Chains A and B, each alone.
Chain A
Amino acid sequence: MSKLVYLVPLFPLLGFLINGLGRKSLSKSMISLIGSGVILASFIVSVMLFFDVKANGASVITLFDFIKADGFQIPFAFQVDQLSSLFLLIITGVGFLIHLYSSAYMQDEEPQHYGRYFSYLNLFVFSMLLLVLGANYVIMFIGWEGVGLCSYLLIGFWFKNNDYNYAAKKAFIMNRIGDLGFLLAVFWLLFRLGTVSYGDVFANISKLSSFDITGITMLLFVGAMGKSAQIPLYTWLPDAMAGPTPVSALIHAATMVTAGIYMIARSNILYTMAPATQTVVAVIGLSTAILAATIALQQNDIKKVLAYSTVSQLGYMFLGLGVGAYTGAVFHVMTHAFFKALLFLGAGSVIHAMHHEQDIRKMGGLKKYLPITHITFLLACLAIAGIPPFSGFFSKDEILTAAFGKNPLYYIIGVGGALMTAFYMFRLYTLTFLGNFRGTHEQEHHLHESPWQMTFPLIILAILSVFGGFLGIPEVFAKDAHSLEHFLSPIFAGSEKITGEHAHLAASQEYIMMGVSTILIAIMIGIAISRYKKYQLNTDENTGLSKVLEHKWYVDELYNAVIVNPLNAIAGFCKNIIEKSGIDGLVNGAGRLVGYGSRQLRLLQSGQVGNYILIMVLAMVVFVLVWFNDNAIMNFLNKIL
């Protein structure tokens, strides 16, 4: 059964090839049918694999020998175990819903661009599947690079706009900086252990010194920083909102950005043995969570708020990984995929209805025009804020409780971030859906609910956001009810053994913490709704702290000043001085020299016969002297000269 795992990435690859090559000849309905159909097929196979893993456990399927060199070999193998099958379900399931949504959202495009879009999306799903299915770090890296490439292609999808191209370039370059760290870690592993397969690495971990482990995990985390948008490599994600909204939903909410978390969850033994790195991961995750939350408080573009929200939630996931709550982090990945994809798709529905207006200050009162979008968006906001019994509550709570166990300060700051999350999400909700409509009459006339291809995914994702949390009920509520933890326990067994049994908080203390945080969150929601319900459109400039937050703490400007401008200056210097004067001078000079020489040489051809005869005679004389190198002639010459 698990031998069929190769089908899972094969279907999207076929979809990519067919849609990509046939984009000028296929019709739009055919393109969307193929594009979405292959993902549905992968989803069905993933479900079968999931049940197979649940019944029979993990397996490694080798397809062929990829790299075989003296001393090491890297097979092209897939690892089908609990972690990868869970991620497969998320990727193909949410991916299918987003493909379905895109078939209606991108209807205004010409058929060849429509085909190009679906081929890129399929290529992305293929790469992501390679990433999670790989049985060694190299296959994962192939997928890692592939998703980076597809992110670039899809962000810059509307390539006629130069700003979008800059955003795509920025995303790809920052990704690449992270990839360098990842590659160095892979080389280090290969050098030390001679293998990069998960099974071999984790079995031979005792052969690595603690310096090795710390270095490797830090470098892997640098890769995760780039891919999953942590400080300092996060600024590409808000700019990536230049791409179509379903792209933002798929790549920058549900899948690509979770690649870093998957990688660290997969390497959990390495991280558990490097507590220094874990602290770094936790601190960076927490600071990213807070920083992004503060910026989101003052953003006015609906997608930018969601982008910063994604960065913030990713920070929480890394916090979970950093304190050893691996299951919690993976759980949060799952619930986040549901509600963030739902939020982005809902935002897309709103943008579609508002005819591509994205400024929330110009929206309002949309709840009576877009009922399904409104309800699903509200459910997603409640989930992300962490109100029980929605899914976000369970996953976030698990992370925060584990953080409290490591260091109470993590918990306090984390709860602060959660309060900000609740506030800005409900600010977004209120400004968009409640109150009075603040747009033009023209826009109001055109407001309509989206077609079924767009609302059906919204409904499915809403159901998942509401009930998805019940997969991970914590111990205080019911003993042994955390089905996700049971399912994933073989993956994290190694780490569990090393850290030992962690001290459980008293049940009463946990209830109090949960209750207090829930009440505080509810209060924040109330404040947000009441403050923004009567919002009037005004164009006052923000001042003071609001201005700093609106300008994203001027981080982009800082990067521009410190990194981008000096690099451009160096490049300019190279171009003007080294290239123009130096190298061009040399090359052109050689040409000019040849020209001058040949002009001088041309004068030899005077056409005068006498000249020619003279030269012939002189040449003969020289020839005779050289050839018949006779002592007598030489002495004679020396005597007379």
Chain B
Amino acid sequence: MPIQYYIYLCLTLFSIGIIGVLTRRNAIIVFMCVELMLNAVNLLLVAFSKMHHGVALGSSPTTMVGIEGQIFVFFIMVVAAAEVSVGLAIIVMMYRNTHSVDINFLNRLKN
């Protein structure tokens, strides 16, 4: 499939993620949108990796040229997992102190 389709899809997913992060009030939903953004990027990386690899295969059948994209996806997934665990721990503490997961409620850093 032409690469533009993948690009448009990922762009759409990423923008939805951004808008979600900026506008939603529930902390868990914000987290989900962050995950959405990360996964959009993952998709883009894999698509480009496939494209480059496909092009390189034409010149020499056993080349490993475009694989870096897929490898990088693993790194991003690891980071996403770590961030989620820490973030959810913070949300749990937040809930225990204020019995709410509304991010606008947490303005203790004000002024």
Residues of A within 8 A of B (CB): 602, 605-610, 613-614, 617
Contacts and interface: CB of A to CB of B under 8 A. Distances in A.
Interface of B: 18, 21-23, 25, 30, 103-104, 106-111
Contact of A607 (B18, B21, B108): B108
Contact of B110 (A605, A610, A614, A617): A605
A602 B108 CA distance: 14
A573 B107 CA distance: 53
Contacts of A609: 103-104, 106
Nearest to B34: A613
B104 A610 contact: yes
B18 A602 contact: no
A606 B22 contact: no
The 7 residue pairs across chains A and B that have the minimum distance between CB atoms: A607-B107, A607-B110, A607-B109, A609-B103, A614-B22, A613-B21, A608-B107
Contacts of B103: 608-610
A614 B20 CA distance: 11
B65 to A, nearest CB: 23
A627 B38 CA distance: 22
A260 B108 CA distance: 81
21 contacts: A602-B111, A605-B110, A605-B111, A606-B107, A606-B110, A607-B106, A607-B110, A607-B111, A608-B103, A608-B104, A608-B107, A609-B103, A609-B106, A610-B22, A610-B23, A610-B25, A610-B104, A613-B22, A617-B18, A617-B21, A617-B22
Contacts of B25: 610
Nearest to B25: A610
Contacts of A606: 107, 110
Contacts of B30: 613
A617 B33 CA distance: 14
A301 B91 CA distance: 96
A463 B98 CA distance: 107
A605 B109 contact: yes
Nearest to A617: B18
A424 to B, nearest CB: 83
A610 B23 CA distance: 7
Nearest to B109: A607
A516 B11 CA distance: 127
Given A607-B110, A609-B103, 19 more contacts: A602-B111, A605-B111, A606-B107, A606-B110, A607-B106, A607-B108, A607-B109, A607-B111, A608-B104, A609-B104, A609-B106, A610-B22, A610-B23, A610-B25, A610-B103, A610-B104, A613-B21, A617-B18, A617-B21
A352 B108 CA distance: 82
B88 to A, nearest CB: 15
A617 to B, nearest CB: 6
Contacts of A617: 18, 21-22
A632 to B, nearest CB: 13
A372 B111 CA distance: 89
Contacts of A608: 103-104, 107
Contacts of B111: 602, 605, 607
A303 B22 CA distance: 94
A610 B30 CA distance: 10
A372 to B, nearest CB: 88
A283 to B, nearest CB: 81
Contacts of B18: 617
Contacts of A610: 22-23, 25, 103-104
A610 B20 CA distance: 11
B9 to A, nearest CB: 19
Contacts of B106: 607, 609
Contacts of B107: 606-608
A312 B76 CA distance: 104
B7 to A, nearest CB: 13
A605 B18 CA distance: 21
Nearest to B110: A607
A320 to B, nearest CB: 85
A614 B30 CA distance: 13
Contacts of A607: 106-111
A457 to B, nearest CB: 81
A613 B106 CA distance: 14
A143 B44 CA distance: 92
A569 B22 CA distance: 66
A298 to B, nearest CB: 79
A609 B106 CA distance: 8
Contacts of B21: 613, 617
Nearest to B27: A609
Nearest to B18: A617
A621 to B, nearest CB: 10
A611 to B, nearest CB: 9
A466 B108 CA distance: 99
A613 B103 CA distance: 11
A606 B109 CA distance: 7
Contacts of A613: 21-22, 30
Nearest to A604: B111
Nearest to B104: A608
B68 to A, nearest CB: 19
Contacts of A605: 109-111
Contacts of A614: 22
A613 B30 CA distance: 10
A602 to B, nearest CB: 6
Contacts of B23: 610
Contacts of B108: 607
B4 to A, nearest CB: 14
A115 B21 CA distance: 85
Q: Which of A602, A605, A608, A609 has the most CB of B within 10 A?
A: A609
B57 to A, nearest CB: 28
A606 B106 CA distance: 10
B94 to A, nearest CB: 10
Nearest to A614: B22
A610 to B, nearest CB: 6
Nearest to A602: B111
Contacts of B22: 610, 613-614, 617
